């Protein structure tokens, strides 16, 4: 290779090296923004159903056939009113049998009592008859209670909220035939995960979402937290009281967000700007990772509780492979 060719080759290598160096050190263009101040809300999510505060279910204690339905949905009832009559033919026959047996034993006790006093009958025979009479009386009382239970009665004053079952249908103790309660006040009973329950307290504000009112966000207040949790579902029952003018209806399924913390003027950044508790700040044209502590978040923004200030310039979407000290060219995030 002559001298001229060697010089040209070296020149080519130098130019190529310079091009690679320039390419490798070319600043990356990134979109930047500054944190903004705004409300941050941290909430515990749960689902629940709307129900009356005062209500009860009514159903049979055993298997029986419905003879009569005496009230229907929407009717007012007073405590003790018969709601439905179940077939009691066999139960009443049992009562009649035991009643006759108890009367016979009672007569026998009355006959033996004066004989015992005169010594004509032994104490052991008398005591046995008295014991049998008492057992018969207890059996009669139990049988009479079975008859009484076949007349389903209202457990309280209120409205028949729902009624199931028709005459002729055979029902069991698993069936609920009547829901009786008051239309107001109402509440939501929700199940809260056991991991979240330490943050839930009576008096906290609750934002409610119901499919029936997609454009509304009714509110309620935590009124009760059951002390005993469900070890199977790993949840606790929480009651949410509703205002008297609520549009929610009994039986509606709802989503509840229990507000556990509110910060009116929190420091907020785009949720894409933070990954693994790290944000990228731009100063003097260079990118620097910053450890941050985060708080509440929503679909677009996340709260920064420490690590950043209001005047920091942050990369909205840090590019893959970005390293501390890399040069960047910035452009402002477009306003929406």
Q: Is 290 exposed, middle or buried (CB count within 10 Å of its CB: 0-12, 13-18, 19+)?
A: middle
* C-alpha to C-alpha distance for 157 and 100, rounded to whole angstroms: 37
* C-alpha to C-alpha distance for 319 and 296, rounded to whole angstroms: 24
pLDDT, one tens digit for every residue, the chain (336 residues): 555 565 555 655 655 554 444 444 567 888 899 999 999 889 999 999 999 999 999 999 999 999 999 999 999 999 999 999 999 999 999 999 999 999 999 999 999 899 888 888 888 988 999 999 999 999 999 999 999 999 999 999 999 999 999 999 999 999 999 999 999 999 999 999 999 999 999 999 999 999 999 888 889 999 999 999 999 999 999 999 999 999 999 999 999 999 999 889 999 999 999 999 999 999 988 999 999 999 888 878 999 999 999 999 999 999 988 899 889 888 877 665
Question: Which H or E run contains 301?
Answer: strand 301-306
- The DSSP symbol for 334 reads P
pTM to 2 decimal places: 0.69
β-bridge mates for residue 24, sequence order: none
* C-alpha to C-alpha distance for 130 and 175, rounded to whole angstroms: 41
**Bridging pattern class, strands 178-181 and 76-77:** unpaired
- The DSSP symbol for 272 reads G
* Coil, helix or strand at residue 27: coil
For the residues of 31-75, what is the DSSP string, one character each? Answer: EEE--EEEEEEEEEEEEEEEEESSEEEE--SS-EEEEEE---TT-
Q: Is 25 exposed, middle or buried (CB count within 10 Å of its CB: 0-12, 13-18, 19+)?
A: exposed
* Coil, helix or strand at residue 268: strand
- By C-alpha distance, which of 135, 136, 116 is closest to 125? 116
- Where would I find the beta strands (DSSP E) of 129-213? 151-153, 158-163, 170-171, 178-181, 186-193, 205-210
Q: Report pLDDT for 6.
A: 58
* C-alpha to C-alpha distance for 277 and 294, rounded to whole angstroms: 7
* 38 φ, ψ (degrees, to nearest 5): -175, 175
- For residue 231, the tally of other CB atoms under 10 A from its CB is 8
- The DSSP symbol for 199 reads G
* C-alpha to C-alpha distance for 214 and 197, rounded to whole angstroms: 27
β-bridge mates for residue 330, sequence order: 30
Q: Is 157 exposed, middle or buried (CB count within 10 Å of its CB: 0-12, 13-18, 19+)?
A: middle
Beta-carbon contacts of 311 under 8 Å, excluding residues fewer than 6 positions away, are 34
Determine the Cα angle at 170 with ends 169 and 172, to 5°.
Answer: 135
Beta-carbon contacts of 150 under 8 Å, excluding residues fewer than 6 positions away, are 60, 64, 85, 86, 87, 88, 91
β-bridge mates for residue 255, sequence order: 47, 209
């Amino acid at each position: 290779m002559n001298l001229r060719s060697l010089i040209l080759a070296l020149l080519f290598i130098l130019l190529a090296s310079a091009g690679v160096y320039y390419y490798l050190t070319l600043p990356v263009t990134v979109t930047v923004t500054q944190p903004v101040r705004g409300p941050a809300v941290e909430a515990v999510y749960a689902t629940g159903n709307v129900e009356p505060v005062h209500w009860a279910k009514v159903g049979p204690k055993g298997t029986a056939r419905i003879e009569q339905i005496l009230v229907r949905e929407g009717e007012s009832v007073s405590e003790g009113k018969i709601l439905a009559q179940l077939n009691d033919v066999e139960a009443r026959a049992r009562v009649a049998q035991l009643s006759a047996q108890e009367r016979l034993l009672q007569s026998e006790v009355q006959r033996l009592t004066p004989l015992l006093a005169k010594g004509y009958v032994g104490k052991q025979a008398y005591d046995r008859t008295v014991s049998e009479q008492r057992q018969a009386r207890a059996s009669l009382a139990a049988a009479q209670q079975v008859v009484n239970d076949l007349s389903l009665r209202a457990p309280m004053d209120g409205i028949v909220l729902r009624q199931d079952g028709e005459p002729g249908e055979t029902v069991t103790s698993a069936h609920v035939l009547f829901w009786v309660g008051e239309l107001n006040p109402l509440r939501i009973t929700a199940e809260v995960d056991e991991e979240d329950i330490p943050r839930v307290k009576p008096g906290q504000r609750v934002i409610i979402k119901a499919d029936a009112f997609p454009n509304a966000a009714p509110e309620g207040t935590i009124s009760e937290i059951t002390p005993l949790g469900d070890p199977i579902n790993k949840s606790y029952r929480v009651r949410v009281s509703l205002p008297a003018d609520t549009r929610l209806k009994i039986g509606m399924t709802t989503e509840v967000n229990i507000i556990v913390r509110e910060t009116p003027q929190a420091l907020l950044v785009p949720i894409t700007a933070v990954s693994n508790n790290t944000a990228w700040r731009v100063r003097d044209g260079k990118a620097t990772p910053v450890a941050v502590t985060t708080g509440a978040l929503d679909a677009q923004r996340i709260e920064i509780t420490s690590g950043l200030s209001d005047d920091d310039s942050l990369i909205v979407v840090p590019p893959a492979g970005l390293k501390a000290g890399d040069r960047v060219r910035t452009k402002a995030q477009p306003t929406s």
